[in-house]
Structure 1
């Protein structure tokens, strides 16, 4: 019987064998960045042809194995599967005895904190939630983008230093997120990044419809400046017809969107209403113009947009149009 004292995994040398369960866009990039820091990827699980190609591109010569075998070979395991699949995966690995005591088990879900790893914790694993606040392409450029990337970090207090050290080794910046705040944290990132892609894609399509030959070249400087201004000044960066209270322009927008891109109308109205509320709250939108504007948005939500002052729409002087009463805030 071996009586040699075993070192605490939290005090062991930093160079670890690394396994990846789920070769989506995130896992191979994180493993490749850990490899640059001196760790050694030893196994990856991949199901689809696309994930196998991605693993081969990002982690050449690393064998593709079933998840249980990945855990068997690895001291540090990255669980990089979709959020909804994570709880079942963790439970399954723990129930089958795949999890080893002292194994660092890291998931990259933004939604969950460390508690989703409780089944593995009971099996002796060391649970870490490290979510990179970055969008991934599944190509080597992702490793470069991790430089300076913030990570949402959640872990037991005794593992906090280990979690932060791993993030720093990947080139990131650790940002501690309390367990109960993980869903809100993730919602904020999705609101900013995921919805931004949809908005930009819609804008590109509409510009092409309007005859713009290079919509990406037109939007690039504008969006870059808007993002920089928003990060610097928050709501103080709001500009455009909604923030100015140009109800007639907004009504014209709604009319054209209904004609050329009906699917974009609901999103335009929702964002315009949110913009109006924020601009009004921060004193950028004059109250006397807000009533007219909000009436146009309400009218746009219920039917075809019409210029202010026409029957059934608010008047241009800020008073209700014929047959209308001011809308209550819903």
Structure 2
């Protein structure tokens, strides 16, 4: 290894092209490293434990050796820490305590939950901390690299590293959105609420449509959900439609009854989302208070009919 690579570097003096390492070959790390390779950087090492991780690394980062996390840090100037959120703090602490972190090394994690404070043990060892979270869902395949084009990254970085962070995001095809350290949990909760729960809702909706005899629920839902998403992004709550927003208590009661008979596991989620929708429709003047009374009674009755998993629910009352 070139001894010069061991010398601390001011980020402003760092060579334009970096050697890149990945600790944690899940769905995110190899895709980001592949995007950086397209920008001219050089992936040199990746760590992965499971067979799936090793296969993923071989597909997205061919000819890049799979080594231990410590060896990844020994070989790379820019290290991507792409492990689950709950494992990140212990990983950073362990790498710092064992002397794996080198002064001047760019250490970048992709957790949405954390800013740069979780990297403090590495910072004390001389590393340069960055938090770059791509607001994108990943499949672990080459399509992820293409999806990074235009993707927003939630970025937290020290003032002196903001230019470096923004440059890396741009090189991966993304756009930087600056998130304050203290706002990271709220930022991440918002994304999980929108994206992760959307998958659950769509999968559940497809199951119910199949049970209703629809042969191609994906084809039926595609245009509808695409239009709903587009309208919501453009107009927010003004895009609300359907029986809850209209105050059609009888229709909602029928929904709850048929779900309780054919898909009881879906009742709690339906009631919770219906109450939240009613709250927002009322707050924005779309649902009239006189129309809401019967609707809220139906939603309260739905909770009292035996399935308590929906919780107490604050509702709009």
TM tier, shorter chain? over 0.9
Greater relative contact order: 1 or 2 (C-alpha under 8 angstroms, separation 6 or more)? Answer: 2
2:300 alignment counterpart: 298
Q: Pick from 140, 143, 154: which aligns with 2:142?
A: 140
1:129 alignment counterpart: 131
The answer as to whether partners of 1:255 and 1:304 remain within 8 angstroms in 2 is no
The answer as to whether partners of 2:45 and 2:76 remain within 8 angstroms in 1 is yes
1:316 alignment counterpart: none
Whole-Å Cα distance in 2 between the matches of residues 118 and 267 of structure 1? 39
Q: Pick from 159, 169, 172: which aligns with 2:171?
A: 169
Unpaired segments ≥5 residues, structure 2 = 308-313
Counting matched residue pairs gives 307
1:267 alignment counterpart: 269
Deviations along 1:56-107, one digit per CA (max 9) or x if unpaired, are 0000000000000000000000000000000000000000000000000000
Whole-Å Cα distance in 2 between the matches of residues 273 and 301 of structure 1? 11
Unpaired segments ≥5 residues, structure 1 = 306-326
Whole-Å Cα distance in 2 between the matches of residues 249 and 6 of structure 1? 67
Offset, 1:11: 2.0
Offset, 1:13: 1.9
Describe how 1:222-241 pairs up with structure 2 within 5 A.
222-241=224-243
Q: Post-superposition, which runs of at least 4 consecutive aligned residues in structure 1 deviate over 6 A?
A: none
Offset, 1:7: 4.7
Deviations along 1:3-55, one digit per CA (max 9) or x if unpaired, are xx965243222100000000000000000000000000000001000000000
1:309 alignment counterpart: none
2:310 alignment counterpart: none
SS at match of 2:16: coil
Query: How large is the Cα RMSD of the aligned pairs?
Result: 1.7
1:62/1:14 Cα in 2 relative to 1: closer, same or farther (>3 Å)?
Answer: same
The answer as to whether partners of 1:18 and 1:77 remain within 8 angstroms in 2 is yes
TM-score of the superposition, structure 2-length normalised? 0.94
1:250/1:328 Cα in 2 relative to 1: closer, same or farther (>3 Å)?
Answer: closer
TM-score of the superposition, structure 1-length normalised? 0.91
Deviations along 1:98-148, one digit per CA (max 9) or x if unpaired, are 000000000000000000000000000000000000000000000000000
